[in-house]
Amino acid sequence: MAIGVSAPVPRLPFGLGSLSVEAEARDAKGAQKAAMVWARGAEIMASAATVSDVGDAYTLAGKFGEDFSDLLVDGESPFGRMGSWPSSDKMGRALGMAPKYSVCEAFGRSPGLAGAVATHLGLPPEWSDDGAKKSD
């Protein structure tokens, strides 16, 4: 960032993180209803660098969560299809508002605007994301 103007700057291809996840959803009887094997790595141009050891994994975990929830909600693979405009509910959650379904509170809210600013500045995600609230 120079003189108030930011531009994408390529990351050095040193220390790029990656994340591989296997996930499944089961019904009340234990029968598998959905499964996904997912892997992705940070990219030199498209991934924002942070000063955190977990920055890439944190960002990639969010992308995995979006893909897996799309699978569960739509009942079809989220890969290889055109993207869609985010719903007002999704926009609200990104700003840190309460999710549409209370069960989603178990995973914690998005850090909202503070998290977006922190990400833009390259700050560690653990500085702006409190995570899920601990239950007693």
18-61 pLDDT, tens digit per residue, is 889 999 999 999 999 999 999 988 776 666 666 566 778 878 88
Instruction: Report if residue 4 sits inside a domain.
Output: no
In this structure, are 73 and 39 located in the same domain? Answer: yes
Q: How many domains does the chain have?
A: 2
In this structure, are 95 and 80 located in the same domain? Answer: no
**pTM of the predicted protein model:** 0.63
Backbone phi, then psi, for 18, in 5-degree steps? -150, 165
CA distances from 100 to 51, 75, 97 (A): 33, 19, 9
In this structure, are 111 and 94 located in the same domain? Answer: yes
- Domain range for 68 is 17-84
